[in-house]
Homo-oligomer: A and B are copies of this chain.
Amino acid sequence: MEELSSVFMEAGVLMAVGMAFVFGFLSLLIIAINLLASFSSRYPDPVPSVKQPQQTASSNTGEISPNIIAAISSAVAHYRQKNSKA
């Protein structure tokens, strides 16, 4: 019985410390996001300048695969053919 109450105590402490930590941590994150927002507001979305480096890099990220191009070409060709009959 004694042991049980000591584990209870431990669980209670865990609950208190845990919730405090979770709240503390996420509160810090709120502050961090607010700081981040004020920092980022100085750099409005520079979409093109972020995309440019990638094109010069040797990645083919974002390129549409030839298979899909082929699929689309044939689909469009098919559709055009159908349309021209109508």
Number of copies: 3
Residues of B within 8 A of A72 (CB): 71-72, 75
Main secondary structure of the interface of A (DSSP, over half): helix
Residues of B within 8 A of A75 (CB): 69, 72-73, 75-76
Return A80 CB to nearest CB of chain B, in Å.
Answer: 7
- Number of chain A interface residues as a range: 10 to 19
Instruction: Determine if A43 is an interface residue (Cβ-Cβ < 8 Å).
Output: no
When chains A and B are docked, how far (Å) is the Cα of A70 from the Cα of B71?
Answer: 11
Supply 20 A–B pairs (Cβ within 8 Å), ascending by A.
Answer: A62-B67, A64-B67, A64-B70, A64-B71, A64-B74, A67-B68, A68-B68, A68-B71, A69-B71, A69-B75, A71-B72, A72-B72, A72-B75, A73-B75, A75-B75, A75-B76, A76-B76, A76-B79, A79-B80, A80-B83
